[in-house]
Amino acid sequence: MDSLAENFKELQLDNNKEESQQYLILPYKNKQWEKNKSFLMKIKSGRVKDVKDLIEILKQMNNLQIDNLVHILKGEDKWITDFIPNVLLFIADLALSVESLFKENEVLILQTAKKQSNNLSRLQVACLLSNMFFLTFENQITLNALPETFDFLKWITFIVDKKRNVSNQQKLVCLLHYFWRIQKEFASQENTLQSQVITFERLINENDHILLKISVDENKMNDFEIVDDRGIELFEDFECIHCDFANKFLGGGVLRTGCVQEEIMLTVTPEALAGILFCQRQNDKDAILITGAQRFCQFEGYRESFKFVGPHYSNFEVDKLDRKKVYTLAMNAISFKQNPKDQYKKDKIHRELGKCFIGFQGSSFSESSRTVPIITGNWGCGVFKGDPQLKLIIQWLSASLLSRKVYYASFKENSLLGCQPVLDLIKNQQINTIYKGLMDFSKSITQDNNKESVFEYFLKLLK
């Protein structure tokens, strides 16, 4: 047990290292606010009549070239043709409202490995996104713990890489569609933007006593189901936690040219993008849970083929805090790009077990988030070179410790094809048996140069 505790020690939060609270520097506290405010007032007043006027005023405001935005505005969909006469005025007004909406509500910087949260109304979130659109934020000085890119500059302008520029244009389409939807909701009798809340929460390890019992836990592995026909974000027919295969910085390269799982998830769920402003990078001791941010866009494709294909409408119930019961869990895996074999070492397996355990705990502010199923998949695979078979068992073990059901979106990964026989063997085993098997596999592959796959090892072990 001592050696196990030693391997998990990096996941324990040192509560003695209290740091002073830090707050987001809002646009109206910046040196350029009065200049930006005057331009936003002009836009709000309706002085922008066409694309030519828009090009001119944004060039004056922040010397911005808006090639991608101009390209998008050539579209004929109603929500695009509405942009300059209606939506642009609305988001300028939203950006200006930062002075009133946050007059008595500062936004906390959610510091690394510190239990903190922000509860923001959906209107406040829209206000932050509007200011990101008009580039009125300045860089936040937090010891390089926040992303360097924090606005929509690279979506709006043109980048030389043509393939990636196309996906950035499609991200911008998703953002403009979101603003159109928000403007319509604001003007409707069903306006819930001020009443409904979105929570951005830093999760830490609060149940390490459970995690440390993994080697002696005699409970059976919890329910687990492989799903081949849909992605993580498409699970909306029941309440669940959607896993975001996160970068250490929330959103990864979403505001630059990245367009894989995390970037797509946040692009089609624009309200989650606001967290980039105030969520410091993750380390081994934490994860980030976003409650209440819903998907607005249907899409198809991946990377350069990503494309907005239409609106998406969700119908989630709200909890007692008036938040939509939809949960997005951002947790970063280790990158094994340099040496993929390192992932089979015990300390690396323990790190990944602990990271999943932290995320899968759910929120201390939401009872249902601690019990609903986890929707995940090939976390830390792809560019990070994680082994899908290993990551599957790691996530299943962590979820089983917390009695959580897992739906696993395989994305038809080759190494998981035909895996049901081994899954059927594992699901009838005790947690400690599977954990011990994983540790034995680690020893065999790192010391004995075993070339069996994870599933081959377990098939031989459990038959």
Confidence at residue 15, expressed as pLDDT on a 0 to 100 scale: 47
Domain that holds residue 457: 2-462
> What is the number of H-type helices and E-type strands within the chain?
17, 10
Quick: pLDDT tens for 277-302.
999 999 999 999 999 999 999 999 99
Does residue 337 sit in helix, strand or coil?
Answer: coil
Quick: pLDDT tens for 314-328.
989 999 999 999 999
Confidence at residue 19, expressed as pLDDT on a 0 to 100 scale: 57
Is the predicted pLDDT of residue 138 greater than 50, yes or no?
yes
Exposure string of 71-102, with b = 16+ CB inside 10 Å and e = fewer, is ebbeeeeebbebbbebbbbbbbbbbbbbeebb
Instruction: Point out which residues pair with 225 in neighbouring strands.
Output: 407
Is the predicted pLDDT of residue 425 greater than 70, yes or no?
yes
Confidence at residue 16, expressed as pLDDT on a 0 to 100 scale: 44
Order across the sheet with 197-204: list the strands: 117-121, 197-204, 286-291, 327-332, 241-246, 374-377, 406-409, 224-227
Average pLDDT (372-388) is 97
Q: Which residue has the higher pLDDT, 366 or 110?
A: 110
Residue 120 makes CB contacts below 8 A (sequence gap 6+) with 107, 128, 197, 198, 199, 200, 274
pLDDT class for 368, splitting at 50, 70, 90? confident
Count of domains for the chain: 1
Predicted TM-score (pTM) of this structure? 0.95
Q: DSSP of 106-172, one letter per residue?
A: PPBPB-TT---EEEEEHHHHHHHHHHHHTT------STT-S-S--SSHHHHS--S-HHHHHHHHHHH
Quick: pLDDT tens for 60-69.
998 888 999 9
Confidence at residue 206, expressed as pLDDT on a 0 to 100 scale: 86
Confidence at residue 13, expressed as pLDDT on a 0 to 100 scale: 56
Q: Which residue has the higher pLDDT, 375 or 2?
A: 375
Q: Express as a percent the part of the chain with pLDDT over 90.
A: 84
